Amino acid sequence: MARQMVAVIGDGVCDRATAAVAEEVGRRLAEAGVTVVCGGLGGVMEAACRGAKAAGGRTVGILPGDRASDANPYVDIPIVTGMGEARNVLVVKSADAAIAVGGRYGTLSEIALALKLGKPVVGIRSWQLATAAGPDTGVIPAETAAEAVALALAMTGT
């Protein structure tokens, strides 16, 4: 039976408060038996992996470069791609849902790709989208890590 994976997406450099949220998201996902998949580098990605590992979970880092050694120390399975930012497709394609914690344009690209693929996206202090016609409800807002994880798991049937 395949193990469910949730992408934790966000900036490669973040402040302590954002890292604390990402770490709690990773921990809660691991406690639910979910594998954390991310871009494998620092910031939100490292914090989420750290939280998952602290709870005994499994982590996958889909790296932009050519060296597994570039992965943060909490990545169990580093996947080197040599694809740069194009690896964002693989991050969200591999996941059943995504949780965005903060983030900049790289995170926005992952959000857009996940929504295009029909995957649920939950955001904590992250992007809220709009079109010329008004607000877009694609990113489901959450106030806490617990709420974000519960929403993501509910939307994937876990």
Spatial separation of the C-alpha atoms in residues 137 and 42, rounded to whole Å: 29
Residues of the chain with pLDDT under 70: 1-2, 158
- Determine the pLDDT at residue 98: 98
Rounded to an integer, what is the distance from CA 121 to the centroid of its chain? 9
Q: CA–CA distance from 95 to each of 5, 16, 60, 156 (Å)?
A: 5, 26, 10, 10
Tell me the CATH class for 5-153: alpha beta
- Determine the pLDDT at residue 3: 82
Residue identified by tokens 């580098």 is: 41
Q: Where are the alpha helices (DSSP H) in 32-155?
A: 44-54, 88-94, 105-116, 145-155
Spatial separation of the C-alpha atoms in residues 62 and 40, rounded to whole Å: 6
Give per-residue burial for 11-45: e unless 16+ CB within 10 Å, then b: bbebeeebbebbbbbbbbbbebebbbbbbbbbbbb
8 Å CB contact between 117 and 93? yes
8 Å CB contact between 38 and 67? no
- Could you tell me the residue ranges of all domains in the chain? 5-153
- Determine the pLDDT at residue 158: 64
- Determine the pLDDT at residue 1: 43
Residue identified by tokens 């903060």 is: 102
